[in-house]
Structure 1
Amino acid sequence: MTMYFRFFLFFLTMSTLGAWAPAFGADQMTYDLGQAVARGLEANEGIKSVRQALNASKLGVKSARGAFGPSFNVKYGYTHYNEPSKIMGMQTSPQDQWLFGLNINQPLFVGFNILTTYQKSLLAEDQTKSQLNQAELGLILEIQTNFLNLLKARKNVQSAKDSLTRLQSHLKVIQAFYDVGLKPKLDVLQAEVDVASAEQDLLSRQNEVDTQEAKLNTLLNYSVNSEIAYVGELEYAPFSMTFEECLDLAYKHRPDLIIAEQSVEIARKDSKISASGLYPSVAADFDYSRQGDDPTVSGSKYQDSASAWQVALNMDWKVFEWGKTYYAYQQAEENALRLVSEYNKSKTDASYQVKSYFLNIQEAAKRIGVNKTGVEAARESYRMAEARYQAQVGTNTDVLDAQSSVTTSEANLNQALADYKQAVADLYYAMGQKNPALDIR
């Protein structure tokens, strides 16, 4: 019995530890901005889809390269004739014939079609790489935007908590004055209304935090209910790059401009492919055949040799097709010119976008300085209004107005800090630069 009892205790202990192990071992995942972006790029389904498209384009290059080599065609068949061939009453061929044939065809010149198609496939692969880069930049910006909104929402929650604390403290002061008959009931009621309003505002601010966390979870391919700690602060650091430097980077690295330029090159390749029909096609052929009256194609008594071969050089040239090829070539040329115009327009739009975001950075930076001063002044004004009220020389309205000014100035500062970081994120996106952690230089 002792042995069984010990075994039972051991089993019970291990089962209990196994049940509690996940709770003890599961640490809450923590992400700063850079880590969140890295996770998103790794796990986001949209990015995976573009990567699969890139793999497909690589296979397209291999397929186009295969057209340079010779093609091999093998055939094997059986034919039965209802009557054997005869000459002067003598049979000259078997009634049952088996045939094996091999053809090797090597294109020598097809109007630059094969070469141009291969070059086009290389451009298509490069274009897909640019599309992947563009998708990654878009995801980075989306994660950064939501992350910054989360940080702003948290600061707004803290500001709402501070506001509620100030209003509750003021309500206690008013209630104490009212209890001894120094203040009217109206002051108490006004303070209670403001406390209730602050509580409602706090709930709304907290909901913004929860919403942004859920959105970030989905961008990182987690469940919306996942408990993930996103850490970071809205901090100001001066942006030192000049507009000319930003514009130069945009012209060199923006994936949409690169894609537009590659589209022009692909269109020119299409034009060249269309023009290939104006040239002759030249190919070499090698044919080898065997025949016989049984499946081994080993010949028959009616044949001197079971096999034969030949080599041929052929040229095929469609001299006239009523302008079909010529107008197809002209159509492709016009399409290439259209894409050139679209590329130039995209370049102009890019310069405006860079300028706009650059100005947004400067404007937000100025607002940060102004609002920092405003917050300090509002807090000092509130302290003075509260002190005057407690000294019976100020009014309840003065305190409530001062408290409202503190809340407003703090919200303005939070918005300015978030706008500054957002403008930086937008500018890096406009320059085609990946800056996951938003390290400002």
Structure 2
Amino acid sequence: MPSTPRKRALAGQPAPVCQVRPVRSPHRNVPAWLLALVLLAALFPAPSQAQNTSPVDFAAQKYAAPGEASARAASPAPEPDAVVLDMQASVSRALQTNPQIESAKAQLRGAAAGEKSAAGALGPSGNVSASGQSQQIKTQFRYPLPPAGASILNVAPSSTANSGALDLNIHQNLFAGFKLLSNYQKAALAKESAEAGVSAAELKLVNFVQQTFLSLLKARADVKSAEDSVARLTDQLKVSQDFFDVGLKAQLDVLQNQTALASAEQTLLAAQNDVLTQTAQLNVSVGFPLQQDVGYAGELTQTPFAMDLARCLDLAYQNRPDLAVAVKSVEIAAKDARIAVSGLYPQAAADLDFISNANRSSINSDLGNYDGQLWQAKLSMQWTPWDNGATYFAYAQAVENVKKIYADMVKLRLDIGFQVKSSFLNIQSAAKRIGVAKTGLEAAKENYRLAVDRYQAQVGASLDVLNGQAQMTQAESDLSKALADYLTALSNLYAASGVKNPGLNPG
């Protein structure tokens, strides 16, 4: 039996050389390529899922709101029955289905969650930390023996040492230089701004749908006028051809009528295409498929408007949601400045900890095997009175940003006043044009009738008929344009005043 190190030392033999070798972790034996395959399998979806789901459908299924049918259906099927909507019904449906509104509402929900998060930061936080350590020590004793270079290796039994610690902590910020409070106030202002943003999105959508609806009605009026023009020119061409056939008129009259008819047909085709374009735009805005057959019912009629300019300006300054957003932006910028200056104040916090320790060793010793528990309360304070001007200049930058946003708000208020005044003047101008256009249309109709009678009586020229027809078509276009401009200006005035009037009802 080999002697112990103590006996060898007493006998005058050289002391052994002690070598401690840590045990390698078994995870090092795992090939790197196997770990890479596992990561790739987790990152990429299954082939069947990737092939059967388009990017739009995948995004809709994953992120669409529960009630948002338009987002979930990337290509919704048209409804079997024709749908009839007037302007008010179209606006109401757009407010329910248009993704712009859902986007604004999602921002509002996010702002509400941000407010709750900022409120939670004011209270205490619970923290848990744990650690564990395991050691396996293998000791080797090497004894040098004569002659030189010879030795005896003796391996002692391996020993293990395990330790663990658990820390349960409650942390409460006592003072953070008004940073946490300002963050909460900023989040509350952001929520109010998001609420105003929803109203602004709704007001913008109402105005857009009304504009598109009025453009559709104007295009239909142009189609009707162009169809009447083509019908009149067709009749006139037939009369000219009959007169030419019997030798009463020259071929020049026939050629002039053919040229005018071709031009009128070009105008008709352009107007018909405009109707299809505006219909498709309305379908998209109100949440219908592009190919859906929707009967948008309405006419270009002059709606009475009784409010004066002062009343419109008062409504605009009180109700415009974008002005409310601008005001909230100024207040949020002021909170940012307060957050920036918080670094100049001391920071104080309180902590309460429960710490538990456990140690286990294969060596039978009180020093190697023990448990411990500790309650600990701590107050801490940190202050950075000098940071080479970083905090001060950050605060100065935030203050200038407040001034900039305030100036933007003032400009927006001035722009709102101009929008109201401009729309109000456009209403007055369009109302006058409507009266003039009606008078001009009556005169153009009578002029055309007389020109046709004179031509058929062979005392008038074909060019007089063509001019009378062109003047009548232009008078019809002037009247429909004046009516459309009046209603468009009315829609713009309601939008500029911050008033949602889906049907442009008299007010």
TM range (shorter): 0.7 to 0.9
Give the Å deviation of 1:119: 0.6
| Residue number in structure 2 paired with 1:205 | 271
Letter in 2 for 1:356: S
| Residue number in structure 2 paired with 1:228 | 294
Q: Residue 80 of structure 2 is aligned with which of 9, 12, 26?
A: 26
Deviations 1:140-177 (A, max 9, x none): 22221111111001011111111122222223333333
Equivalence map 1:294-305=2 (5 Å): none
Equivalence map 1:33-432=2 (5 Å): 33-79=87-133, 96-293=162-359, 306-432=372-498
Deviations 1:215-251 (A, max 9, x none): 2222233332222211111110222111111111111
Higher relative contact order (CA 8 A, sep 6+): 1
Give the Å deviation of 1:74: 1.5
The secondary structure found in structure 1 opposite 2:290 is coil
The answer to whether the 8 A contact 2:253-2:462 is kept is yes
For residues 358 and 409 of structure 1, the distance between their equivalents in structure 2, rounded to whole angstroms, comes to 25
For residues 338 and 328 of structure 2, the distance between their equivalents in structure 1, rounded to whole angstroms, comes to 15
Give the Å deviation of 1:438: 1.8
Paired residues, number? 403
For residues 77 and 169 of structure 1, the distance between their equivalents in structure 2, rounded to whole angstroms, comes to 98
Letter in 1 for 2:257: A
Provide closer, same or farther for how the CA distance between residues 284 and 397 of structure 1 changes in structure 2, counting only shifts above 3 A: same
Aligned-CA RMSD value: 2.3
For residues 97 and 27 of structure 1, the distance between their equivalents in structure 2, rounded to whole angstroms, comes to 75
The answer to whether the 8 A contact 2:304-2:506 is kept is yes
For residues 240 and 322 of structure 1, the distance between their equivalents in structure 2, rounded to whole angstroms, comes to 63
Letter in 2 for 1:64: A
Instruction: Structure 2: give runs of 5+ residues left out of the alignment.
Output: 1-78, 138-159
TM-score by length of 2: 0.75
Letter in 2 for 1:223: P
Give the Å deviation of 1:418: 0.6
Give the Å deviation of 1:275: 1.6
The answer to whether the 8 A contact 2:161-2:360 is kept is no
The answer to whether the 8 A contact 2:360-2:370 is kept is no
Instruction: Structure 1: give runs of 5+ residues left out of the alignment.
Output: 1-24, 84-93
Of 113-122 and 320-329, deviating more is 320-329
Give the Å deviation of 1:272: 0.8
Letter in 2 for 1:108: L
Of 225-234 and 174-183, deviating more is 174-183
For residues 187 and 382 of structure 1, the distance between their equivalents in structure 2, rounded to whole angstroms, comes to 17
Letter in 2 for 1:68: L
Determine which structure has more spread, i.e. the larger CA radius of gyration: 2
Of 302-311 and 209-218, deviating more is 302-311
Give the Å deviation of 1:50: 2.4
Letter in 2 for 1:293: N
Give the Å deviation of 1:80: 5.3
The secondary structure found in structure 2 opposite 1:293 is strand
For residues 135 and 247 of structure 2, the distance between their equivalents in structure 1, rounded to whole angstroms, comes to 127
